[in-house]
Amino acid sequence: MRKYFVVLLLLLAGLFSWAVSPVHEYTKQGFAMNTLIRMTVNSNDEKLLSRAFDLLNTLDNELSMYNPSSDLAAVNALAGKEKYYAPSDVIEAVRGAVRVYDITGGVFNPLIGAVTRLWKINQNDGKIPTHEEIEAALSLTDMNNLEITDEYILLKREGSVLDLGGLAKGYASDRLAQFFRDNGVKSGLIDLGGNVYVVGKKQDGSNWRIGIRDPLDPRGMPGLVASVHDTSVITSGNYERFKVIDGKRYSHFFDPKTGESVNSDLLSVTIITPDGTLADGLATAFMIMDFDTSRKILQGLPEVGAVFITQSDIRATKNLEGIVAPIGSQNITYF
């Protein structure tokens, strides 16, 4: 009897050790969505990050406007012709874009793609679109051209172009964060080329400390740090993509009313909120609109924190007091 009792204890010990298999910190880097990706998780599944990268690559292949084999490219190719029965992530990403369009009064416009293609900011070709070309592109950005259901997307006018570049990374960060939570991750970090989402707190129970780039630092070093958990920290800046023609700088932010590249003293906007899709879209929109309009929108979004960095000052919403702090001697004005 004693022999069987010992065997039983050994079996129970083995089952217990399997049930509480140790949690390790895993980190994996890669390239997707045209940027360097880094993800860190504390998990007992060493293959989890490989599956996360598989998900990210799937999203990239669905949401990229520039990948000719993507689902979004298929939607655009069928503009003015027929419906495209899109995967659920494409449907949800477009719905997220429509929501940000409504919140920002149309400043964030997912149909800006015709204008984006016209300017070719990624090509320093020395060309500026003519007024007639811009007007023609603007005529294709009317949101009445977009029809979306649970199953399909239809662009009603030929030449209309869906461009989700303003929030695709934010949407991907939401999906990855949910993927980690669904797989039992209590602590993790997703860095999609500066678009950051943190799941839970760090393994030691402290907040994650996320650097916010100083746009005036030529090395790209952080000027602020955000102490956060369970949220996204997403920055848009005029240093990301631009071209210079005859000494004038043209950014990749376009006014949906004029079709012109936007240039102002606003250098970057950082949004901190648990909704990565919303954060990415708002960061893009606030780079286009004036500060007073941005502030009015934020008054209706108490769950959203924002940091505005200009040539001369740093302004942040009051809900970030004690959360965002300067690394150097800068002062933050809270509103």
Does the pLDDT value for residue 87 go beyond 90? yes
The residue that leads in pLDDT, 88 or 247, is: 88
Does the pLDDT value for residue 2 go beyond 70? no
Does the pLDDT value for residue 235 go beyond 90? yes
Does the pLDDT value for residue 3 go beyond 70? no
Mean per-residue pLDDT, 107-118? 96
Mean pLDDT of the chain: 91
Which distant-in-sequence residues (6+ apart) come within 8 Å of 218 by Cβ? none
The residue that leads in pLDDT, 14 or 238, is: 238
Mean per-residue pLDDT, 46-50? 96
φ/ψ (deg, to 5) at 278:
-65, -45
Look at residue 6 in the predicted model and tell me its pLDDT.
38
Of the pLDDT bands very low, low, confident and very high (cuts 50, 70, 90), residue 21 is low
> 293, exposed or middle or buried, with CB in 10 Å at 0-12, 13-18, 19+?
middle
Look at residue 35 in the predicted model and tell me its pLDDT.
94
Of the pLDDT bands very low, low, confident and very high (cuts 50, 70, 90), residue 62 is very high
Distances (CA, A) of 84 to 140, 146, 166: 18, 12, 21
Look at residue 316 in the predicted model and tell me its pLDDT.
98
In this structure, of 99-103, 216-220, 275-279, the range with the lowest mean pLDDT score is 216-220
Tokens in use for 72? 């979004």
> 44, exposed or middle or buried, with CB in 10 Å at 0-12, 13-18, 19+?
middle
Residue identified by tokens 């400043």 is 107
Mean per-residue pLDDT, 59-76? 96
Look at residue 219 in the predicted model and tell me its pLDDT.
87
Does the pLDDT value for residue 29 go beyond 60? yes
What is the pairing mode between strands 332-334 and 314-316?
parallel
Mean per-residue pLDDT, 101-124? 92
Total number of residues shown for the chain: 335
Does the pLDDT value for residue 13 go beyond 60? no
Does the pLDDT value for residue 241 go beyond 80? no
Look at residue 127 in the predicted model and tell me its pLDDT.
81
**Per residue in 140-197, pLDDT tens?**
999 999 999 999 999 999 999 999 999 999 999 999 999 999 999 999 999 999 899 9
Does the pLDDT value for residue 55 go beyond 70? yes
Does the pLDDT value for residue 19 go beyond 70? no
